[in-house]
Amino acid sequence: MNSAPLKLNVKKTVLVGLAFFLIMAFWQAYDTIVPKILTEKFGMAHWLSGVIMALDNILALFLLPFFGALSDKCKSKRGKRTPFILIGTLLSCLAIVGIIFADGVQSSSLEAVDPRNPTALETLYEADPEIRVEGEKGALSSFIEKEAFLALDDPEAQDYTTYVVAARSAYAKEHTKSHPAPLIFFVLTLFFVLLAMGIFRSPAVALMPDVTPKPLRSKGNAVINLLGACGTVSLIGIGMLFGTGKAENAIRTYGGYFAALAGVMLIALLVFLLTVKEPRWAREAEEQNRLLEDGGEEEPAEGTRALSKGEKRSLILLLASVALWYMGFNAVTTKFSVYAAPELNMDFNSAMLVAQIAGLASFLPAGMIASKIGRKKSILIGVGMLGSAMAVMAFVGKQTPAFLPIACFIIAGLGWGMINVNSFPMVVELATGGNVGKYTGYYYTASMAAQTLTPVLSGALMDLNMRTLFPYSALFVALSFLTMLFVKHGDSKPVSKKSVLEQMDVGD
C-alpha cells in the first residue's frame, strides 16, 4: 500500500494551539501582576503573597487530573475537549471582571499616596512613624533625614525604588489592616477565576496529542508552545503599553490591562470555535497511529495498557524532573516582577519580553532537533542552558552592564523552549488513545505541585534576602538535570525503514 510521507499539518496545529494561546496570555498577566498587587497595593510580605500565588497550583493538583480524565470520557458532538475550553474560558473572563473591580477599589483607597497626587510624598512623610520598609528598619526615616525625600521627583531614580515604592507598600499594608474588605474580595475572586481556568487547562493541552500522530508530537508541541509564547508576548506588549513595569505605576489601577486580557482571550476563543473540527481531526490521527503500529497491529482508540516496570520508573523520574525545573523557573516568573526594579533598576517587562522572543525562536528548531538527537538529549541541553543563565543572574546587580541580564534571559528563553517542546510529548508518549487526558493530568500535577511550593519557599527566602531568588532557581534546575539523566522511555518510536512511511520527516 502506498502512502504519502507523514507530515505535521501546521495550519491545523496552529488553530488547535489557540486554546493554549489564551491560557498562556492569562498566566502571563496572573503571574506578573497579581504578585505586584498583593505586595505593592495590599502590602503583603513576599512569603504570604507566595501562598496566595500557590493557590492556583493547589487547586490544579485536583482539578487538572480530574478534568483531564473527565474530558477523556466526554462524548459531545463538539469533541472531547472543546466543550471544556468553551465553558472554562467564558467563566474565566467573567471572573476577570471581579479582579478589575477589586483592584480598582484598592487603588482608589490609596489615592493619598498615588504619585499623581501632589501631596503624596508629604502624606508618606507624615505617616505613622511605625511604618517601616520590611527588612530595612529605619530606612525611610533615614531617607527623610537626608532631606532628599520631598525633593525626589525622578521615578527612575534608585532611591525611588529603594525607599519610596517600599514606603508606599508599607502604607498600603497599614491601610489594608484597617480596611481588609478589598483584599478579601480580591482573594475570593482569584479563587473563582482559578477554578474556571482549571476546567479547561488539561483538555486544551490534551487536544494536540489527540489530533496529532505520535511521531509528530514534538513538532506539534513546538507549534503549540509557539502559540503559547505568542499569547505571553501579546500580554507583555500590552503590559508595556499600560506601563505595568514602571515604579511610579505600582499602585495605580490595572483595570485596562485586565480588560485587554479578557478581550484577547475572547477573540482567541471565537476563532478557535469557528475553525477547529476536533472530532474529525481526532479520527484522522487515530487512523494514522494505527498504521504506524509495528506489525500493523491496531491499538483500540479508547484502549489502555499497563506500563512496564521500566516505563513506570521513567515516568516517575520524568515527572520529578518536570517538578524540579518548574521549582526553579516558576520562582523567577512569579517573583521577577517585584525583584527587577529594586534589585536591578530595570523594567521586568523588558527581560520577560526578550526571554519570550527567544522562546518563540527556539520552539520550531527544538522540535526538529529532537527528531534528530531525541527528546531526552534536547531537554538536557535546554536544562543546561536555563540553569547556566540563572546561575549567572545570581551575580547580576544594579551596577552590572544592562546587556548581561538581557543576554541571560535570552539564553533562559532558548533553554526553556527546548524543555517545553519535548517534555510534554515524552509523558504522553507513554499514554494510549484512551488515556491521553489522564497522562496530561499527570504532567500538570507534577508542574502544579512544584508551582504550589515554590512561590512560598522562594518568597520566604526573599523576605530574608531578595538576592536569594536566582541561586534558588539555579539549584532546582541543576537537580532536574540529574533526575533527567536516568529517564529511559518517552522518545517517539522510530519508523521502520521498510515502512511505507520511511520518508516521513520525524524520527528518533
pLDDT reported for residue 10: 86
Tell whether pTM > 0.75. no
> 136 φ, ψ to 5°?
-130, 55
Whole-number mean pLDDT of the chain?
81
Q: How far apart are CA 11 and CA 220, in angstroms?
A: 11
Q: Give the pLDDT mean for 356-378.
A: 84
In a domain, 237, yes or no: yes
Look at residue 127 in the predicted model and tell me its pLDDT.
63
Average pLDDT over residues 195-216: 86
pLDDT at 155: 46
Q: Please report which confidence band the pLDDT of residue 162 belongs to, taking 50, 70 and 90 as the band edges.
A: low
Q: Is residue 174 part of a domain?
A: no
pLDDT (0 to 100) of residue 333:
86
| Total structural domains within the chain | 1
Span 104-131, average pLDDT: 74
Classified as helix, coil or strand, 108 is: helix
Cα angle vertex 481, ends 477, 486, to 5°?
150
Where is average pLDDT lowest: 10-19, 73-82, 366-375, 389-398? Answer: 366-375
Distances (CA, A) of 463 to 50, 166, 335: 11, 13, 12
Per-residue confidence (pLDDT) for residue 324, from 0 to 100:
96
DSSP state of 468: G
Among the listed ranges 76-90, 303-317, 322-336, which one has the minimum average pLDDT value?
Answer: 303-317
On the question of pLDDT at 391 being above 70, the answer is yes
486 phi and psi angles, rounded to 5 deg: -95, 5
pLDDT above 60 for 121: yes
Angle between helices 309-339 and 46-53 (to 10 degrees): 130
Q: What is the pLDDT of residue 129?
A: 52
Report the run of H or E that residue 192 belongs to, with start and end.
helix 181-211
Average pLDDT in the 283-302 region? 64
pLDDT at 338 over 90: no
Q: Which residue, among 243, 254, 263, 248, has the nearest Cα to 105 in the 3D structure?
A: 254
End-to-end CA distance of the chain: 24
Helix 46-53 and helix 436-464, axial crossing angle in degrees, nearest 10: 170
Report which residue type is found at 332.
Answer: V
Query: What pLDDT score was predicted for residue 217?
Result: 76
394, 478 in Cβ contact below 8 A?
A: no
CB 182 within 8 A of CB 136: no
Inside any domain, residue 300:
no
Helix (H) and strand (E) counts in the chain:
19, 0
Residue 102 lies in a domain: yes
Q: Is 141 within the bounds of a domain?
A: no
pLDDT exceeds cutoff 50 at 395? yes
Separation in Å, CA 430 to CA 71, 99, 304, 311: 18, 39, 10, 8
Torsion of CA 333, 334, 339, 340, to 10 degrees: 40
**Residue range 157-174: mean pLDDT, rounded:** 71
Does residue 22 or residue 352 have the better pLDDT? 22
- Give the chain's length: 508
Instruction: State how far the Cα of 51 lies from the Cα of 469, in Å rounded to an integer.
Output: 16
pLDDT at 475 over 80: yes
Which CATH number characterizes residue 445's domain? 1.20.1250.20
Residue 53 lies inside a defined structural domain of this protein: yes
Cβ atoms 168, 124 nearer than 8 A = yes
Q: What is the pLDDT of residue 305?
A: 64
Confidence of residue 404 (pLDDT cuts 50, 70, 90): very high
Q: Which residues are bridge partners to 133 per DSSP? A: 136
Lowest mean pLDDT among 9-18, 48-57, 198-207, 370-379: 48-57
Q: Which of 177-186, 381-390, 402-411, 417-426 has the lowest mean pLDDT?
A: 417-426
Q: Tell me if 167 is assigned to some domain.
A: no
> In which residue are the cell numbers 535570552 written?
410
Distance CA 440, CA 20 (A): 14
* pLDDT mean over 269-284: 91
How many other C-beta atoms can be found within 10 angstroms of the C-beta atom of residue 193?
23
The parent domain of residue 410 ranges over 10-109+182-294+309-484
- Decide if pLDDT at 497 tops 50: no
Nearest in space to 415 (alpha carbons), one of 343, 484, 466: 484
The fraction of the chain above a pLDDT of 90, given in percent, is 33
What is the pLDDT at residue 168? 80
Q: What is the pLDDT, as a whole number, of residue 161?
A: 60
According to the 3-state scheme, what is the secondary structure of 332-361? HHHHHHHHHHHHHCCCHHHHHHHHHHHHHH
- Whether residue 80 lies inside any domain: the answer is yes
Q: With bands split at pLDDT 50, 70 and 90, how would you rate the model's confidence at 502?
A: very low
Can you tell me the distance from the alpha carbon of 104 to that of 50, in angstroms, rounded to the nearest whole number? 22
pLDDT in tens, 298-328: 444 445 567 788 888 988 999 999 999 999 9
DSSP per-residue codes, 459-488: HHHHHH-GGGHHHHHHHHHHHHHHHHTT--
More confidently predicted of 429 and 432:
429
Contact predicate 375/492, CB 8 Å: yes
pLDDT of residue 137: 45
What is the model's pLDDT at position 260? 96
